[in-house]
Amino acid sequence: AAMAAERALAMATCTAPVNIAVIKYWGKRDTDLILPINSSLSVTLHQDQLKTTTTAAASRDFTEDRLWLNGKEADVGHPRVQACLREGERPCPPRGRRGGSEDSAALSLSYKIHIASENNFPTAAGLASSAAGYACLVSALARLYGLEEELSEVARRGSGSACRSMFGGFVQWQRGERPDGTDSLALQVAPETHWPELRVLVLVVSGEKKPVGSTAGMQTSVETSPLLKHRAEVVVPERLAQMMQHIRDRDFEGFGQLAMRDSNQFHATCLDTFPPIFYLTDVSRHIIALAHRYNAHHGHTKV
Amino acid sequence: AAMAAERALAMATCTAPVNIAVIKYWGKRDTDLILPINSSLSVTLHQDQLKTTTTAAASRDFTEDRLWLNGKEADVGHPRVQACLREGERPCPPRGRRGGSEDSAALSLSYKIHIASENNFPTAAGLASSAAGYACLVSALARLYGLEEELSEVARRGSGSACRSMFGGFVQWQRGERPDGTDSLALQVAPETHWPELRVLVLVVSGEKKPVGSTAGMQTSVETSPLLKHRAEVVVPERLAQMMQHIRDRDFEGFGQLAMRDSNQFHATCLDTFPPIFYLTDVSRHIIALAHRYNAHHGHTKV
């Protein structure tokens, strides 16, 4: 601990990927702990194209915690950011020991922290930027503090889907049963090497912010949509098992069709929300129709 | 019968109204008999604004059945038109007697028929033109043949929702239980005099034909949408009871909100269909958003 106190600056940089859910997450059973009403499953994209890069620095010269997003200072006091920061600062000796550096606990307790995070893609375009962002923040903090524990639980506290960006390949976020959320974790279903020829085409239709944010939107859906309740209780458990099998079999036809159906059903529950939430635009609807015409022309699911 | 044979021409003209469902019909359990998977409930609009006018004429000089829609000759052999025509021609003495004219049966069996039907509104704009059209056809034929039986069952064979246009005011189309459809009938829940201040504002957003017709669309929905199944089995029975209560109480807040929710849920099941069906356009979405903003401004449901 004495050694740590003399270090002027400790710094760690990480990158984190975007993930695209093929069985969607929509709806929380606990809004504070961010516990979902259904399990979800995603594909993690390669960081060659889209990624978040975050540097976390701790110094005794810093007088306050600060945060920059894409070069612009942001509110470090945001409850979700604080949930991730506090997690690293918990004085927890066994964890510090596991990390191998005895100065970690001291670092985290006494030093203020500066965080800079950047996306190499449009932040508000629905590309799971908060997922990549919080996954990256938690990874950078963990490296800074030398933590090696289960980090997806911490990332989940930043943004639900962030827990899935802690792994590559195919990742399931287990709903979990416990009220404290300790079993609501991300697990890798298959590594990226399992299905290397799979490609995800990302079409950015608009750079504008969503008309209703996910947090408020999904809460309204939980409160007002009878179809969302049925989806979470009955439809998703069946689909999750099917999707795992399609991934195991590398069955693109089954995988692609089920991903389309599940995406549509998510949008359907948004429409069943009162007042209704519209995330699809005429442009995205045209792209969907184009994909169906393309597949019909080829006689099977190619996109 | 001898008298009838000497009449050169028998003719009857009727008008029929458009109805707007507030608990929607979507999905058949029998495609041939047009039996729905759920009951529905509608408001019949006043014929001062929108109506269909149909004239049916029978003559021994006619050599074949013919049909004109909005002045243009159409296919009289269409199975649904035939279902309505054959119904009038069933040699059924007790019915003829009830009608009071003994020549009815002879008329219907031996004479060819000419039908002309006109809408005073855009036919393809989603305004239930086929409902009004078939209700009108069945009424005109019944008058021609002097029939007085339960006609909503016959109208239903033309177009499901046509059975609801056989009555004014608030009309329920009972799902029915029997496989032969004899209990799948329309019933008036309350006459138009029950809630005279209720107004329906019809906004025609497009005069174009729907991208997917109702018949094909709802069949695909029945086959592919798990949410539609849940809607029909669980959600609609609850909502139907609520809606009847709102009508009884003349509770516009409850009536309007439930009508909005149910319309949205119908569109949600279209979106949950594979491939998805889109009936809402950006224009209709803007109108929906405008109505919600207007109501939010006034603090309660006015539209």
pLDDT digits (tens, 9 = 90+) for B237-253: 999 999 999 999 999 99
What domain count does chain B have?
Answer: 1
Is the pLDDT at A259 greater than 80, yes or no? yes
- For A272, the closest of B268, B275, B289 (CB atoms) is B268
Cβ count near B86 (within 10 Å): 12
The reply to whether A303 falls in a domain is: no
Touching A: B residues 221-260, CB under 8 Å:
224, 226-227, 230-231, 234-235, 257, 260
Longest dimension (CA), chain B: 70
Query: Closest to A267 (Cβ–Cβ): which among B231, B271, B292?
Result: B271
Q: What is the dihedral of CA B172, B177, B178, B180, to 10 degrees?
A: 50
Instruction: Copy the structure tokens of residue B176.
Output: 């029915």
Cβ of residue A74 closer than 8 Å to a chain B Cβ: no
Any domain includes B114: yes
**Is the model's pLDDT at B96 over the cut of 50?**
no
The C-alpha atoms of residue A10 and residue A109 are separated, in whole angstroms, by 13
Mutation to test the A interface, candidates B221, B233, B264, B281, most A Cβ within 10 Å: B264
Look at B264 and A257 and tell me if their CB atoms are within 8 Å: no
Contacts of A234 in chain B (CB under 8 A): 226, 230
* Contact across the interface for A276 and B288, Cβ inside 8 Å: yes
- B-chain residue closest to A265, CA distance: B272
Q: Are B272 and A263 in contact (CB under 8 A)?
A: no
- CB within 8 A of B113, min separation 6: which ones? B56, B57, B58, B62, B65, B66, B85, B141, B144
How many beta-carbon contacts under 8 Å exist across A and B? 77
Give percent of chain A above pLDDT 90: 78
Each residue of A75-116: pLDDT tens digit?
999 999 999 998 766 544 444 444 445 555 556 567 899 999
- Cβ(B247)–Cβ(B189) below 8 Å: yes
User: Is it the case that residue B112 has pLDDT exceeding 50?
Assistant: yes
Nearest to B189 by CA among B148, B243, B265, B139: B243
Q: With respect to residue B303, please indicate whether it lies within any of the assigned structural domains.
A: no
pLDDT score for A208: 82
SS3 sequence of B156-194: HHHCHHHHHHHCCCEEEECCCCCCCCCCCCEEEEECHHH
Is the residue at B115 inside a domain? yes
State the complex-level ipTM.
0.88
Domain assignment of residue B205, yes or no: yes
pLDDT at B173 over 90: yes
pLDDT at A99: 45
pLDDT at A108: 55
Q: What is the span of the domain harbouring residue A145?
A: 2-298
Give the number of other Cβ atoms within 10 Å of residue B85's Cβ. Answer: 22
Stretch A174-198: mean pLDDT: 97
> Considering CB atoms only, which of B227, B234, B274 is closest to A231?
B227
Residue of A69, A300, A34 whose CA lies nearest to A179: A34
Structure tokens at A143: 């490296």
Segment B210-215 mean pLDDT: 91
Mean pLDDT of B83-111: 60
Q: Which of A160, A198, A180 is nearest to A24 (CA)?
A: A160
Q: Which residues of B touch A227 (CB under 8 A)?
A: 227, 230-231, 235, 265, 268-269, 272
Q: Which residue would you say has higher pLDDT here, B148 or B80?
A: B80
> Is B180 or A107 the better-scoring residue by pLDDT?
B180
Residue B126's pLDDT band, with cuts at 50, 70 and 90, is: low
- DSSP helix/strand/coil, A265: helix
CATH code for position B272:
3.30.230.10
Check: CB of residue B64 under 8 Å from CB of residue B24: no
Calculate ∠ Cα B260-B26-A297, nearest 5°: 110
Interface touch B268/A264, C-beta < 8 Å = no
Cβ of residue B276 closer than 8 Å to a chain A Cβ: yes
pLDDT at A144 > cutoff 60: yes
Element (H, E) at B56: strand B51-59
Which of B223, B266, B272, B285 to probe the A interface (max A CBs under 10 A)?
A: B272
